[in-house]
């Protein structure tokens, strides 16, 4: 801690990226739920062309992108706000709306807790039951802002729309954030609720199904009033948050929905076949509506599996939290990557 750092930052725990950095050194990367498919030629061409205009500031409203996305989602342009990844949108939300505190499941996306701590937001963690979010447990939260990842991470389990609606309806004094980072792989989107309820924000990302994790693009969908508040925060601190190349890539990827659909269906197909192979090897695997599997072996510890895979240059995600330390979260990569991983697991299980 340097002597010039504000004292309020003395005890921050930032998001730990050390393993992500390590996995960039020749590992099979199955630890951050990225897409194994590189962006299409059309996306690469669009980025190359947009690079010519880098002498100008980018469009702070992402107008072309917003227009195309609004058309695809059947919402108004003004109901969308873009972020530098959905992480930035989550940050805006913590800044804007969490005066009465926050609530989220005890096992979920770790960034909610990190942001709550950063912004000094008081939070409650609501235990999952049998790895599931139970809507009944999200009542009487006294105006706390509620964060629900649907499908949830790292479990991969999705709630059905009536369950999401129950949480929204039973908390009219709370804003309910539905984080749909993985929704394209099997969940049902709650986006239409933004026209029925005034207390909902949906967050989404281009990082997973649209192969753009490195470009950093996410967005929120909410009624105009809430969107305007998020936009005010954005325009106050980072008006040019989405660079021109990312805007061009985003537009090109939206103009090629066929490729996204093909990639998603390939991942779902590989996911189911890997799941079956894992079960045959003695793993218990939770139902996944995402591009990853959450699995534990009946007799071999989660840590041993993680360490052995790592020694073989395969990085999956292991959590030290005792409630889930027997599990590993395995991103669905290409069929070839999965084959490499399954071969190593076969050896571990045979020993």
| The Cα angle at residue 157 between residues 88 and 285, in degrees rounded to 5 | 125
Beta-bridge partner residues of 315: 29
Beta-bridge partner residues of 175: none
Piece in contact with ligand PMP (CB under 6 A), picked from 81-89, 134-142, 230-238, 301-309: 81-89
Distance separating alpha carbons of residues 288 and 271, to the nearest angstrom: 8
Nearer to ligand PMP, 205 or 247 (CB): 205
Which residues contact residue 263 at a Cβ distance below 8 angstroms, ignoring those fewer than 6 apart? Answer: 35, 37, 209, 211
Smallest gap, in angstroms, from Cβ of residue 23 to ligand PMP?
14
Task: List the one residue from 86, 171, 199, 331 that touches ligand PMP (CB under 6 A).
Answer: 86
Distance separating alpha carbons of residues 63 and 217, to the nearest angstrom: 14
* Residue span 126-165 as binding mask against ligand PMP, x where in contact by CB under 6 A, dash where not: -----------------------x---x------------
Distance separating alpha carbons of residues 107 and 87, to the nearest angstrom: 18
Smallest gap, in angstroms, from Cβ of residue 109 to ligand PMP?
4
Piece in contact with ligand PMP (CB under 6 A), picked from 7-15, 84-92, 230-238, 255-263: 84-92
Q: Which two tokens stand for residue 56?
A: 């100008």
Nearer to ligand PMP, 90 or 270 (CB): 90
Task: List the one residue from 36, 85, 186, 302 that touches ligand PMP (CB under 6 A).
Answer: 85
Piece in contact with ligand PMP (CB under 6 A), picked from 8-16, 79-87, 248-256, 328-336: 79-87
Q: Which residue carries 């009946």 as its tokens?
A: 298
Which residues contact residue 145 at a Cβ distance below 8 angstroms, ignoring those fewer than 6 apart? Answer: 93, 97, 98, 100, 101, 102, 103, 174, 175, 176, 177
Distance separating alpha carbons of residues 302 and 324, to the nearest angstrom: 9
Distance separating alpha carbons of residues 246 and 252, to the nearest angstrom: 10
* Residues 288 and 294: beta-carbon distance below 8 Å: yes
Residues 190-249 that bind ligand PMP (CB under 6 A): 205, 207, 213, 218
Nearer to ligand PMP, 86 or 328 (CB): 86
Task: List the one residue from 179, 184, 256, 326 that touches ligand PMP (CB under 6 A).
Answer: 179
Burial of 344 (0-12, 13-18, 19+ CB in 10 A): middle
Nearer to ligand PMP, 111 or 306 (CB): 111
87 lies in the site for ligand PMP, by CB under 6 A: yes
* Residue span 89-128 as binding mask against ligand PMP, x where in contact by CB under 6 A, dash where not: --------------------x-------------------
Smallest gap, in angstroms, from Cβ of residue 96 to ligand PMP?
17
Smallest gap, in angstroms, from Cβ of residue 44 to ligand PMP?
19
Nearer to ligand PMP, 205 or 300 (CB): 205
Nearer to ligand PMP, 108 or 300 (CB): 108
Q: Which two tokens stand for residue 182?
A: 């993985």
Which residues contact residue 318 at a Cβ distance below 8 angstroms, ignoring those fewer than 6 apart? Answer: 302, 303, 305, 306, 325, 327, 328, 329
Contact set with ligand PMP (CB under 6 A) = 85-87, 109, 149, 153, 179, 181, 205, 207, 213, 218
């Amino acid at each position: 801690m340097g002597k010039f750092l504000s004292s309020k930052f003395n005890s921050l725990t930032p998001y730990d990226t050390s393993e992500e950095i390590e996995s960039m050194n020749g590992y099979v990367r199955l630890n951050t739920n990225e897409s194994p498919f590189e962006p299409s030629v059309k996306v690469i061409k669009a980025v190359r062309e947009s690079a010519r205009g880098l002498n100008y500031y980018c469009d702070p409203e992402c107008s072309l992108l917003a227009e195309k996305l609004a058309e695809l989602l059947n919402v108004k342009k003004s109901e969308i706000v873009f972020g530098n990844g959905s992480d930035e949108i989550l940050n805006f939300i913590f800044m804007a709306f969490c005066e009465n505190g926050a609530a989220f499941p005890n096992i979920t996306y770790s960034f909610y807790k990190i942001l709550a701590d950063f912004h000094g937001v008081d939070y409650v963690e609501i235990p999952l039951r049998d790895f599931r979010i139970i809507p009944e447990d999200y009542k009487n939260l006294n105006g706390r802002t509620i964060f629900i990842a649907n499908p949830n991470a790292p479990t991969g389990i999705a709630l059905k729309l009536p369950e999401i609606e129950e949480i929204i309806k039973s908390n009219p004094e709370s804003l309910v954030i539905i984080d749909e980072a993985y929704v394209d792989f099997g969940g049902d989107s709650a986006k239409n609720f933004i026209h029925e309820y005034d207390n909902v924000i949906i967050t989404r990302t281009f990082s997973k199904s649209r192969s753009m994790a490195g470009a950093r693009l996410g967005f929120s969908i909410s009624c105009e009033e809430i969107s305007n508040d998020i936009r005010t925060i954005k325009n106050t601190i980072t008006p040019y948050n989405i660079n021109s190349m990312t805007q061009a890539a985003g537009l090109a990827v939206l103009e090629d929905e066929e490729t996204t659909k093909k990639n998603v269906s390939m991942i779902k197909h590989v996911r189911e076949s890997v799941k079956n192979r894992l079960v045959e090897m003695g793993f218990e695997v939770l139902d996944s509506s995402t591009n990853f599997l959450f699995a534990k072996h009946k007799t071999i510890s989660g840590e041993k599996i993680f360490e052995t895979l790592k020694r073989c240059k395969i990085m999956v995600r292991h959590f030290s939290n005792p409630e889930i330390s027997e599990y590993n979260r395995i991103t669905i990569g290409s069929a070839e990557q999965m084959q490499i991983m399954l071969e190593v697991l076969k050896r571990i299980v045979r020993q």
